[in-house]
Structure 1
Amino acid sequence: MLSDRFGRTIDYLRVSVTDRCDLRCSYCIPKGFKGFEEPENWLSFDEMTRVIAAFARLGTRRFRLTGGEPLLRRGLPALAARLSALPGVDDLSLTTNGTQLQHQAQALHDAGVRRLNVSLDSLRAECVQSICGSDSLDKVLDGLAAARHAGFSAIKINMVPLLGVNDGDIEAMIAYCIEHGFILRLIEAMPMGSTGQHAQGLDLTRKLDELTRRFGLHASCKTLGGGPARYWESRDGSFTLGLITPMSQHFCASCNRVRLSVDGTLYMCLGQEERFELRPLLRAGCSDARLEAAIRDAIELKPEKHDFITQPSRVVRFMSMTGG
């Protein structure tokens, strides 16, 4: 198994297949942004497969396809099918904004993707328009329905509550998730790039007491993927709530993941700048042994913790550049 210099096992790789997105969420990509990676610098599907196979040989078992918006990358189900067939890939999942999901859900499920996270910050069309810069609510709801029909279970809805914007929509989102059997995950906004640094996120640790009383929730021992969410569930088991709290209660001591960007950069932490470039090695025709050694070297760079609290303006790259 891969482990870093702080004794943490690295068993989870998030893979960005594109930095492009069809939305401009206020906490992620600024309106009018044009600084996307040039396509010639994108890793090919062959190159991505090599990297993921190397991680799998080194003991990593969980892999998530992300973006930007991953479903904008042409032929993504074909890549998913290749990855799910690799020895050692035990868990292949996808994070999406849902706008393209209606037409690709079945192909993704057929390709071996088994878990979906879908970003949805409100059930009010005008609020979605305000946050995402697009009237995309109906597309996302249709995509969720298609995902259920395709056979996906335990679908997670990712919501980023913003003060004075959609923080009043949490109860309506809980009711929607109870009705449709979805898992709701509330995520604190992180100060990445100018957009994230100006986002007024909600302190979810403070919000938790209110939600547990209102909906009769208790702490859950469920393991729902390899990420940092902590879960609570209703007494009858009909609803599960997850919280991801990088700001109010960080989880750096148990961090088990690194991120591969579309240009072949391994990022060790969302809140730090340590990185390792794999693309030059891949395009120079490196051996599998050399690639595995490079991955081990990269993991040694992983920092102990992020600096979102003490240095909130430090990370200037946008979330879409790092990879979900």
Structure 2
Amino acid sequence: MFADSFGRRFYYLRLSVTEICNFRCTYCLPDGYDGPPASAFLRRDELRRLMAVFAHYGTRKIRLTGGEPTIRRDLSELIGDARQTPGIERVAVTTNGYRLPTHVASWHAAGLDQINLSIDSLDPDQFQAITGHDRLREALEGLDMALTAGLTVKVNAVYMRGVNDRLGHFLHWLRDKPVTMRFIEVMETGADPGFYERHHVPLSNVRQQLLLEGWQPLVRRQDAGPAQEFWHPDYAGRIGLIMPYSPDFCTTCNRLRVSAQGKLHLCLFGDHGYDLRPWLQHDDQREDLAAVIQAALGDKKATHGLHERDTGITRHLAMLGG
């Protein structure tokens, strides 16, 4: 099984299938996407080979992410490839939701288990101000369709001081909505360090408030993401907190990232990627690919450098799918 020098094992692969995103979120791509064309990203056959090797060496969950993965016309096929990969038990997609009502049924039929939907505000005007698009209605419609289809739904919101930090607004919604609302602490990136200064809120404060109001922590799944999740008997929904500045955040790291251009990233805020693409061209290269990945894991550090304001090569979150 893929493991690093600290004994951490990697059950979870975040696989970016494109860097392109059509939204202009203030915390990620406020000026819009300006990067490589779609032709620069991994082909379907390369992605299949990559998923097969990770699954053979212990990965049990694959998340297809971006950019905005629904921009790829073959997303349904990629979901099916992940589902049909021996060893993969859970397939997820992260999306901004603008195509969700149209495609959620076909994604579910292809084998999708979970949708992570970015909704930074439940107010249409504020949603548009954050994302640059008036698409809240489509996202919420798609969310309800996903729940009806039996998919697990998690909603992501970057929790920003002075923008969408009215916790009670989200709590009211969760009383009757059976989703996990995950708040993500603002992280500093290379593109706009000033954004962090203006909008960062320590989610440890929110955690303390939740505990005082009777929310109780849940035990994490082996292949779960980084959120600490909480439940309350009076609410249909749950809350998750992603707190990268907490002192023990990296001790339970169980995930690796591969960029849309085929580079292995040991951390969202690492200082470089390891090019895997040369070993994705033929089926008989699997053992060599596995050896390259395991060798790279020897370089994985105990923790990221965010506390020292070291953001690595991450200019914006769309580079690696967050």
TM-score after normalising by structure 1: 0.92
Where do 1:168-247 residues align within 5 Å?
A: 168=166, 170-195=167-192, 198-199=195-196, 200-214=199-213, 216-221=214-219, 223=221, 226-236=224-234, 238-247=236-245
Amino acid of the residue matched to residue 174 of structure 1?
Answer: L
The alpha-carbon deviation at position 294 of structure 1 amounts to 1.4
- The answer on 1:5 being equivalent to 2:33 is no
Whether the 8 Å CA contact 1:102–1:143 is kept in 2: the answer is: yes
Distance 1:266 1:136, change over 3 A: same
State the SS of the aligned residue for 1:254. Answer: coil
Q: How far 1:30 sits from its partner (Å)?
A: 2.8
Q: Counterpart of 2:210 in 1: which secondary structure?
A: helix
**Distance 1:299-1:251 versus aligned 2 partners, 3 A rule:** same
> How many residues align structurally?
320
Match of 2:182, SS? Answer: strand
Q: Distance in 2 between matches of 1:107 and 1:209?
A: 41
Paired position in structure 1 for 2:137: 138
Equivalents in 2 of 1:239, 1:39: separation in Å? 37
1:223–1:174: structure 2 CA closer, same or farther, 3 Å change rule?
Answer: farther
Query: Contact between 2:176 and 2:237, CA under 8 Å: does it hold in 1?
Result: no
- Give the Cα separation in 2 of the matches to 1:163 and 1:315: 25
1: CA distance between counterparts of 2:284 and 2:309? 37
User: Structure 1 CA distance, aligned partners of 2:125 and 2:175?
Assistant: 23
Q: How does 1:261-300 map to 2 (within 5 A)?
A: 261-283=259-281, 287-300=285-298
For the residue of structure 2 that corresponds to 1:231, the secondary structure is: strand
* Equivalent position amino acid for 1:19 in 2: E
Amino acid aligned to 1:22: N
The 5 Å alignment of 1:158-173 reads: 158-168=156-166, 170-173=167-170
Paired with 1:298 and 1:15, the residues of 2 have a C-alpha distance of: 17
Task: Kindly state the Cα deviation for residue 226 of structure 1 after the two structures are TM-superposed.
Answer: 1.5
Alignment of 1:1-324 (within 5 A): 1-34=1-34, 36-153=35-152, 155-168=153-166, 170-195=167-192, 198-199=195-196, 200-214=199-213, 216-221=214-219, 223=221, 226-236=224-234, 238-283=236-281, 287-312=285-310, 314-324=312-322
TM-score (norm 2): 0.93
Give the C-alpha shift of residue 315 in structure 1: 3.7
Distance 1:323 1:137, change over 3 A: same
Task: Name the CA distance, whole Å, in 2 between partners of 1:13 and 1:82.
Answer: 14
Q: Secondary structure at the match of 1:92?
A: strand
CA distance in 2 between counterparts of 1:174 and 1:156 reads 14
Report percent identity of matched pairs. 36
1:148-200 superposed Cα distances (whole Å, 9 cap, x missing partner): 232213x11111110101112x2212221222211111110111232465232
Q: Which structure 2 residue ranges, 5 or more long, are not aligned?
A: none
User: Separation in 2 of the partners of 1:12 and 1:197?
Assistant: 32
2:63 aligned counterpart, secondary structure: strand
Instruction: Give ranges in structure 1 of 5+ residues lacking alignment.
Output: none
- CA RMSD, 1 decimal: 1.9
Distance across 1 between alignment mates of 2:178 and 2:316: 32
User: Residues 197 and 18 (structure 1 numbering): CA distance in 2 closer, same or farther, change over 3 Å?
Assistant: farther
CA contact (8 A) 1:37 1:263 kept: no
Distance change in 2, residues 1:47/1:192 (3 Å): same
Conserved? CA contact 2:177–2:236, under 8 Å: no
C-alpha displacement at 1:135, in angstroms?
1.3
- Residues 227/152 of structure 1: CA separation in 2 closer, same or farther (3 Å cut): same
Residues 116 and 138 of structure 1: is their aligned pair in 2 closer, same or farther, counting only changes over 3 Å?
same
Q: Contact conserved, 1:21 with 1:69, CA < 8 A, in 2?
A: yes
Distance 1:225 1:123, change over 3 A: farther
Q: CA deviation at 1:79?
A: 1.2
> Structure 1 residues 41, 106: CA separation in 2 closer, same or farther (over 3 Å shift)?
same
Could you say if the C-alpha distance between residues 286 and 320 of structure 1 is closer, same or farther in structure 2, counting changes exceeding 3 Å?
farther
Moved more, 309-318 or 183-192: 309-318
Q: Match for 2:258: what amino acid?
A: L
2:218–2:231 CA contact under 8 A, matched in 1: yes
C-alpha distance in 2, partners of 1:118/1:61? Answer: 21
